[in-house]
Amino acid sequence: MKSEPTDFSIDDLEKAPKQTIDWYGIRNYQARNFMRDDMSLGDLAFFYHSNCKTPGIVGIMTVSKLAYPDRLQFIKDHKYFDSKSPPDNPRWLNVDVKFVKKTKLLELKDIRNYAELKDMRILQRGNRLSITPVSPEEWHFIYSLIA
């Protein structure tokens, strides 16, 4: 799960109340569907810093609440307001995630270098999704490297 550290970083998550945050602002259907359809309570996720000097994995968090309507879509004048999202059938959802631990930084350029990780969704050409699945094999490989 990607976040720009200038917007919300792993340190922000560690310092957040209950070390938990609603993963707000996802406005892409595929990324939304990953949260809605493929995440269960207790699932683990890598926290990835994007659009920064050294993009890469910086920590681990866990899904602490299943997908529910993103509250920001209904707040007029908010950056994430969506006038086309009907309150009785909200278009955008988010899960809650809870801090687990910081890890050693695994830079994107290093992710690219491991043959074991060459099929990761995040590396696929033109990938712009801020939430992508990680296979069990990829998870264990990365975990043993950095955690």
Partner DNA sequence: GCCAACGTTGGC
Q: Which residues make up the interface to DNA (CB under 7 A)? A: 2, 4, 27-30, 50-52, 55, 84, 108-109, 125-130
Q: How far is the CB of 75 from DNA (least distance, A)?
A: 16
Q: Could you give the angle at the alpha carbon of 46 between the alpha carbons of 54 and 147, nearest 5°?
A: 85
Nearer to DNA, 68 or 80 (CB): 80
First to last CA, the chain: 17
Nearer to DNA, 2 or 142 (CB): 2
Q: How far is the CB of 47 from DNA (least distance, A)?
A: 13
Nearer to DNA, 42 or 126 (CB): 126
Rounded Cα distance between 70 and 90, Å, is 8
Nearer to DNA, 42 or 91 (CB): 91
Rounded Cα distance between 9 and 100, Å, is 14
Q: How far is the CB of 108 from DNA (least distance, A)?
A: 5
Rounded Cα distance between 25 and 36, Å, is 14
Contact between 2 and 23 (Cβ < 8 Å): no
Nearer to DNA, 15 or 112 (CB): 112
Rounded Cα distance between 146 and 34, Å, is 25
Q: How far is the CB of 119 from DNA (least distance, A)?
A: 15
Q: How far is the CB of 51 from DNA (least distance, A)?
A: 4
The DSSP letter of residue 40 is -
